[in-house]
Amino acid sequence: MLFNLGKVVVTKEQIAAKVRELGAKITEDFKGKDLVVIGVLKGGFIFLADLVREIRLKFSIDFIAVSSYGSGMSSSGAVKILKDIDMVIEGKHVLLVEDLIDTGLTLNYLKALLATRKPADIKTCTILDKPAKRRANIMPDYKGIEIPDVFVVGYGLDYAGKCRNLPEVYSINTTLTQIKR
């Protein structure tokens, strides 16, 4: 699938500064608590890897994989669990780590699912926030960088499975996709 990268929406430097800030805040807030950090795959893997190295505590890490947009760009609202966490979270303090909150439906669903397992508490963290299209009544407890309502790739986020590796966050140009074909 052909598509062109648009402009840089968030730079490496902006991301690094925000990750340090969030890590420091989380370190303070979870001191003395039994913390489990849960990364939402696939998009969350790069942010999770950076964030956990800024959290100066002893804690566990687990992953949950959910279906997202497939190869399209709009939310279906349906969430499917492709891989569940391995750990028992009863009585633990959970921090759910996402790449981006758009409609909020994914995070809302995951929070409700994990809540049935009786953790002490569930907090959420996202590196990117697109509040314009929010449909679920949810605000991340640890909020990264707010971006406008444009489709973005990079820093874990993909378009048709590609571009997760880009160190910056880019918009993509889909009208050019049509012309180039």
From the list ligand IMP, Mg ion, none, partner contacted by residue 110 (C-beta under 5 to 8 A by kind):
none
Contact (CB, 8 A) for 156 and 15: no
Say which residue the tokens 């062109």 belong to.
4
> Which of residues 50 and 68 has its CB atom nearest to ligand IMP in the complex?
68
Q: List contacts with ligand IMP (CB under 6 A).
A: 43, 68-69, 75, 98-106, 151-153, 157
Structure tokens at 74: 């709009």
> Which of residues 89 and 101 has its CB atom nearest to ligand IMP in the complex?
101
CB of 106 to Mg ion, least distance (A): 6
Q: Does 43 bind Mg ion (CB under 5 A)?
A: yes
Say which residue the tokens 């999770």 belong to.
48
Q: Does 119 bind Mg ion (CB under 5 A)?
A: no
Task: Verify whether residue 102 is a known catalytic residue.
Answer: yes
Q: Which of 102, 121, 149, 158 is catalytic?
A: 102
From the list ligand IMP, Mg ion, none, partner contacted by residue 3 (C-beta under 5 to 8 A by kind):
none
User: Could you give the dihedral angle defined by the CA atoms of residues 68, 74, 78 and 80, in that order, rounded to the nearest 10 degrees?
Assistant: -10
DSSP letters of 56-98? Answer: -S--EEEEEEE---TTSSS--S---EEE---S--TTSEEEEEE
Distance CA 166, CA 162 (A): 9
> Which of residues 81 and 88 has its CB atom nearest to Mg ion in the complex?
81
CB of 133 to ligand IMP, least distance (A): 7
CB of 156 to ligand IMP, least distance (A): 8
Contacting Mg ion within 52-111 (CB under 5 A): 99
CB of 66 to Mg ion, least distance (A): 7
Which of 60, 29, 49, 160 minimizes the C-alpha distance to 99?
49
- Could you list the residues that contact Mg ion (CB under 5 A)? 43, 99
Q: Active-site residue numbers?
A: 102
